[in-house]
Structure formats: structure tokens, C-alpha cells
Homo-oligomer: A and B are copies of this chain.
Amino acid sequence: MKKHHRSVNALRRSDLAGLTGCNLETIRYYETIGVMPDPPRTARNYRAYDQSHVRRLRFIMRARELGFTLEEIRDLLALVDGGAQTCGEVQVLADAHLASVRAKIADLKRIEHVLASTVAQCTGDDVPECPVIDALSEEA
């Protein structure tokens, strides 16, 4: 047994980071903004995490991967923490997020279209005339 002087199953910050893949400092950040709870401390003031923290951090990370903002995640967690979340409530949040993701995609597609069709006109030559510069400079 390694770590035999530490209380059973107590995880330090680096352990939690290792188990979740989350950056060390980010964990602390999540605590200060309140999406992760302040963990209990050892006698020497070290954070002592357990499996519940691992689960919660993974939840947060998966939500972030799906593009939920920390504010949205806070709302999701508030439902879950209340213990009485309903599928309906969660769906409202998820649908709202989905809508904003779709809006961003639409925005970027518009940009991509303009950009691609402009760049397509470039000769790529050693000449100063350039459709991209023209598009940005035009006195529309």
C-alpha cells in the first residue's frame, strides 16, 4: 500500500485532476465559482476529495464538452442537487442550449460561405489586387 498515512480514499487535488483529466487549477476555479463544492480539508488544510467529487467533476466536464456554459451547468446542477429534477425541466435547459449551438453553426456557415467564395476569386499571385482586401475595403 502506498499513501498509507492518508485517510482511506482521500483524494488530493492532483488525484482528482488525474482521475478526470481536468486541469489542476481549473478545479480550484470551479470551487471559487461554486460549481464544485468546497471540499473538506485535512488537518493541514489540504483538500480531501472523494468519489462524489470525481462524479461531479466528470458531470461538469461532459457538460462543458457539449458546450454548456458554466452558468448553464450551474442551473443543471441546481436541478440535480435539488434531487427533484424532472425530465421536463432538464429538457428546457438542453433545448435552449441546442438552439444556441444551432444559431452559432448558422452564423459560422454564413461566414464560411462569404469567406470561401471571396477567397475562391484570389489569384494568389504576387500582385497587390486582392478580392479579399477589396471585400473588406468596399464602400458598400
Interface residues, chain A, CB within 8 Å of chain B? Answer: 55, 59, 62-63, 65-67, 76, 80, 84-88, 90-91, 94-95, 97-98, 101-102, 104-105, 108-109, 111-112, 114-116, 118-119, 122-133, 135-137, 139
- Cβ A101 vs Cβ B111 within 8 A: yes
Copies in the complex: 2
Instruction: Select which of B80, B87, B133, B135 is within 8 A of A122 by beta carbon.
Output: B87
Question: CA of A105 to CA of B116 in the docked complex: distance in angstroms?
Answer: 14
A108 near B112: Cβ-Cβ < 8 Å: no
Interface of A, helix, strand, loop or mixed by DSSP = helix
Q: Is the CB of B126 within 8 A of A90?
A: no
Write 25 A-B pairs (CB below 8 A) sorted by A numbering.
A62-B136, A66-B115, A67-B111, A67-B115, A80-B133, A85-B130, A86-B128, A86-B130, A87-B126, A87-B128, A88-B125, A88-B126, A90-B122, A90-B130, A90-B132, A91-B122, A91-B124, A91-B130, A94-B118, A94-B122, A98-B112, A98-B119, A101-B111, A105-B108, A108-B108
Q: Is there an interface contact between B116 and A109, defined as CB atoms closer than 8 Å?
A: no
- Residues of chain B within 8 A of A62, CB atoms compared: 135-136
